[in-house]
Amino acid sequence: MIVGVVGKIAAGKTTVARFFEERGFCRVSCSDPLIDLLTHNVSDYSWIPELPEKAEPTRERLIEFGKYLKEKYGGDVLIRLAVDKKRNCRNIVIDGVRSREEIEAIKRLGGKVIYVEARPEIRFERLVKRKASKDKGIRSFEDFKSVDDAEERLYHTSELKGLADYVIVNEGTLEELREKVERIIEEVAGKV
């Protein structure tokens, strides 16, 4: 079974994916193949589209290289690479799905898609708390809104909600989120 997790910045995608991982799913992010290709860490793949010049995987480089790969090899290339990386796993959860083509690829493989959402104020609060290196340029709510709006223009994330099999509103506690995810795991596990 393949499960894809979609949502805006700091909505809780990785947390949802980790709950699946705790239940035996192999977790992989759509950005993992990009990071692996940029850092030349490709031993987990049975195929690679091409190896770019070795570079630090900054948010900007990941976006730029991802756009290039999708234009050259198809909008589902990151899903194909992520599934290939975890090809020895029976169940895979893919964090950070960002396009209609990626969702369609997951569904073609018999998978399900979860859309995770939360209000911008809550997402900004989470982003500040997580202190991820990729977020270091975001210092204020205005910065956050600017990056969030740019990602929306680039990926049209909110339009993907209608393609999801499940929608999770993640504005409560971690335990409330876990309960919502557990219900979905029980349902999809029955289809495995």
Per-residue pLDDT reduced to its tens digit, 2-23:
999 999 999 999 999 999 999 9
* pLDDT of 192 strictly over 60: no
Domains of the chain in sequence order: 2-189 (3.40.50.300)
The CA-atom distances, in angstroms, between 75 and each of 6, 14, 70, 106, 187 are: 15, 22, 5, 12, 28
pTM score, whole prediction: 0.91
DSSP designation for 46: S
Q: Which secondary-structure segment (H or E) carries 121?
A: helix 120-130
Q: Single out the residue of 66, 82, 69 nearest to residue 2, CA to CA.
A: 82
**Beta strands 166-169 and 112-117: pairing type?**
parallel
